[in-house]
Amino acid sequence: MIIVTGGAGFIGSALVWALNKTGITKIFIVDHFGKNDKYKNLVSLKFEDVFDRDDFGHMVHDGFLKKNNVEVVYHLGACSSTTELDVNFLLRNNYEYTKFLCGHSVDNNVRFVYASSAATYGDGLRGYDDNEAKLNELRPLNPYGYSKQIFDLWARNEGYLDKIAGLKYFNVYGPNEYHKGDMQSIVSKCYKQIKETKKARLFKSYSKDYKDGEQKRDFIYVKDAVDMTLFFGENKIVNGIYNVGTGTANTFNSFVKPIFKTLGIKENIEYFEMPEVLCGRYQDFTQANMDKIRKAGYKKDFTKIEDAVSDYVKNYLDTDYPYLA
């Protein structure tokens, strides 16, 4: 039996889809649904049952993991909004809950794979090296990144990192992200803009080092991200913190241009002012160091950005049913 927390969310539902593709359906999904449409991510997927996040906490306390012979917990559930400013909420939801699940998983000999974040790297001046010894050097730019950083530190200091795997997801994009509102990827947002207005809108640059639209991120297609996630669930001796990216930074301009090409629409990009809440908290550059995961045995190539964006647009966004099925 496998548990996926955040299983109705973006990466979580994509992980369930990937598990289904290998014939695995003995899955328990845990999530907090609220008042959005993320339940739609589950409609075409196969699983045993679904539980509310808070109820599941009580179930785990009462021995659920052992009673149900759970093999792996993929803990992907979290508030992932980089604009969330309620630190107390983030500490309860992203930090304390993760500590709780981690402790019970390890105590019951259940594989625990959890989502950290590239947001822990902050402005990147200290690099993007997934070396646990350098965790104290990182300076997250927002409360979300901090909530992920302090769990990484706790897990290391308490001696858990030789038993569990933490994944620092970089800029993941792809099908099933539609419920995320402003946290959707640029591809999802710009696809709608291009279809409606024939142009895409990107943030202006506020750095002398980057022209408008030339800020760079390590964008990774969700299908590649979940493939790497499954690698850690299947290889229980591979422990510690690992980057989940591609190792290549691409500009926002190059990220949206394949949308125009796939739709057969002339390129037209407009640049606008960044919201005040993001000023001083924005990463102009990210690029994962992928040496560690390669040395751990992950051999697959990553989907080229042009191919991934084209697949996303042609086979999902520009169809009547944009979900993974």
pLDDT in tens, 19-34: 999 999 999 999 999 8
| Residue 296 CB neighbour total at 10 angstroms | 16
Whether 225 and 172 have beta carbons less than 8 Å apart is answered as yes
DSSP code of 134? G
Which residue shows structure tokens 């560690």?
Answer: 292
Report the pLDDT value the prediction gives residue 1, as an integer from 0 to 100.
97
Query: Per residue in 197-227, pLDDT tens?
Result: 999 999 998 888 899 999 999 999 999 999 9
Q: Which residue has the tokens 């969700």?
A: 222
* Residue 196 scores a pLDDT above 90: yes
Q: Which of 88, 91, 113, 87 is nearest to 101 (CA)?
A: 113
* Higher-confidence position of 34 and 6: 6
- The confidence score (pLDDT) of residue 161 equals 97
pLDDT bin (cut points 50, 70, 90) of residue 280 is: low
Q: Residues 55-80: what's their mean pLDDT?
A: 96
Average pLDDT over residues 104-117: 98
For the segment 125-133, the average pLDDT, to the nearest whole number, is 93
Q: Which domains does the chain have, with CATH numbers?
A: 2-173+219-247+287-303 (3.40.50.720)
Distance CA 290, CA 243 (A): 6
Q: Give the catalytic positions in this structure.
A: 144, 180
Whether 279 has a pLDDT exceeding 80, the answer reads no
Closest to 203 (Cα-Cα) out of 265, 140, 269: 269
pLDDT of residue 34: 84
What was the pLDDT predicted at 125?
Answer: 87
pLDDT at 6: 97
pLDDT at 176: 98
- The answer to whether 82 touches 281, Cβ cutoff 8 Å, is yes
- With left for phi above 0 and alpha for psi between -120 and 50, is residue 188 left, alpha or beta? alpha
Angstrom distance (rounded) from CA 5 to CA 114: 9
| Percent with pLDDT over 90 in the chain | 88
277 — pLDDT class (breaks 50, 70, 90): confident
Is there a contact between 20 and 7 (Cβ–Cβ < 8 Å)?
no
Q: Residue 238 contacts by C-beta under 8 Å, 6 or more apart in sequence? A: 165, 231, 232, 296, 297
Task: Kindly list the strands in the beta sheet with 2-5, ordered across the sheet, starting from the edge strand earlier in the chain.
Answer: 49-52, 27-31, 2-5, 72-75, 111-117, 165-169, 240-244
How confident is the model at residue 263, as a pLDDT? Answer: 98
User: What average pLDDT does the structure give for the chain?
Assistant: 95
Average pLDDT over residues 60-71: 97
pTM of the model: 0.95
Tell me the pLDDT band of 121, cut-offs 50, 70 and 90.
very high
Q: What is the pLDDT of residues 144-181, one digit of tens each?
A: 999 999 999 999 999 999 999 999 999 999 999 999 99
**Position 79 confidence tier, pLDDT thresholds 50, 70, 90:** confident
In the block, residue with structure tokens 């973006």: 10
